[in-house]
Amino acid sequence: MKAVTSILHKVTGSQSPIRWDEHDLTLIGSGSSGRVFLGKDQSRSPIAVKEAHIRELDEVKLLQKLSHKNIVKYLREETKEETSYILLEYVPGGSIILFQHI
């Protein structure tokens, strides 16, 4: 299995890249902008991997700037071939849609 190493190091404060295995992903959700998978980083800690076929630069730029206890933490973004991957903190408990009251 080939591991992917992110080349962006500026967001988390850590100078070491996040390594994750693109072949060891479990689908946990999907929507209009892409799919979200549960993955593991090099220390086997869970991370959310959002796959988007169109680069969502606006979302990435916004996530890079946000830092709040109620917002999922942005880790990295990388592109492989025509697919953009946004690596995020994994928060268990399902989709936020489950908690919406209409």
Q: Per-residue pLDDT tens, the chain, 102 aa: give them.
A: 334 444 333 334 444 678 887 888 999 988 777 789 999 988 888 999 988 765 566 777 777 788 888 888 888 887 777 777 888 888 887 666 655 555
- Indicate which CATH number applies to the domain containing 41: 3.30.200.20
User: Does residue 10 lie within any of the structural domains?
Assistant: yes
Residue 14 · residue 34 · CB < 8 Å? no
Range of the structural domain that residue 31 is part of: 3-91
User: Does residue 12 lie within any of the structural domains?
Assistant: yes
DSSP-derived pairing of the beta strands 46-52 and 83-89: antiparallel
Q: Which residues are annotated as a binding site for ATP?
A: 50
User: Does residue 101 lie within any of the structural domains?
Assistant: no
User: Does residue 98 lie within any of the structural domains?
Assistant: no
Total domain count for the chain?
Answer: 1
Q: Which residues are annotated as a binding site?
A: 50
Q: Using CA atoms in the order 50, 51, 53, 57, what is the torsion angle rounded to 10 degrees?
A: 30
